Amino acid sequence: MFGPPGSGKGTYASRLSEELTIPHISTGELVREEIKNQTETGREIESYSKSGKLVPDEVIGKLLESRISQTDCARGFILDGFPRTVAQAEVLERISKPDVVVNLDVPDDVIIERLSTRQTCGTCGAIYNERFLKPKAAWICDRCCGQLRKRDDDQPSVINERLKIYGIQTRPLLDYYHKKGIVRNLVNKETSVPPEKIVKEILRILKAEQSIM
Ligand code: AP5
Ligand code: MG
């Protein structure tokens, strides 16, 4: 799942993971886990994540390799937020070549609106939105009854920095994958669309790829 911050990578990947019964791997979640557990890596990368900068390629590459080596990934997996640089894409080519890059094309004004109203579960990581995808009870996770909260990097100045970094360091990767012929665009210009509708569209894209399903 490829796309700018707030384009819905996590929202759709978590639902696709249930549909396809393969794991959803969000490198952002891996980073937040390390920070939450205050591991050595977590302490090293905390300032990058909080300021919206990319974590160094070597560190994120190690976190990803370690996650992919777990047995639940043997049948495949959905990557969300990796790769974000050409160097990371080259690491991925060596570990496991991606079949399809689903590019979520969402305009900046929609992103800013969605991120400033996002809520996430501190326990299971489920994603909500206080305007568009509300939990049943305010600030309580529907799935695990955990406490919902705002992400540290969802403040306006950090959102702007993340969008800037996406444009400079990550968007150019699309050319890399266009050359491989595996990019499938999904344009979504509206602020709110039922996620199920978009997930259906992604499944249609995947079904068209004989090699995958
Ligand atoms: P990460 O956690 O990946 O953040 P991100 O890329 O900025 O993306 P987000 O998680 O903010 O957005 P999303 O696309 O998942 O959207 P969501 O589904 O939540 O990374 C965080 C940090 O970790 C990075 O800044 C970096 O420091 C580090 N990092 C991670 N990977 C790295 C890497 N590879 N290299 C280096 N550093 C790395 O949706 C957003 C909101 O919109 C939600 O409120 C949701 O409910 C709502 N929404 C979604 N879809 C819809 C819809 N259809 N209609 C209405 N609302 C919707
Ligand atoms: Mg996410």
Best residue among 2, 9, 11 to mutate for probing ligand 1's pocket (most ligand atoms within 8 Å of CB) is 11
Residue 208: which residues within 8 A CB-CB, separation 6 or more?
Answer: none
pLDDT in the model for residue 213: 67
pLDDT at 211 over 80: no
The per-residue pLDDT for range 64-94, each reduced to its tens digit, is 999 999 999 999 999 999 999 999 999 999 9
* Cβ of 73 below 6 Å from ligand 1: no
Q: Supply the mean pLDDT for the chain.
A: 96
Is 67 one of the annotated active-site residues of the chain?
no
List pLDDT tens digits, range 131-159: 999 999 999 999 999 999 999 999 999 99
Domain residues of the chain, as ranges? 8-99, 101-199
Residue range 169-186, pLDDT digits in tens: 999 999 999 999 999 999
* pTM (2 d.p.): 0.97
Q: Same topology for domains 8-99 and 101-199, yes or no?
A: yes
Locate the DSSP E strands across the chain: 24-26, 78-80, 101-105, 118-121, 127-129, 148-149, 183-187
Q: From the CA of 211, how far away is ligand 2's center (Å)?
A: 27
**pLDDT at position 112:** 96
Q: Does domain 101-199 have CATH number 3.40.50.2300?
A: no
Please tell us whether the domain made up of 8-99 is placed in CATH 3.40.50.300. Answer: yes
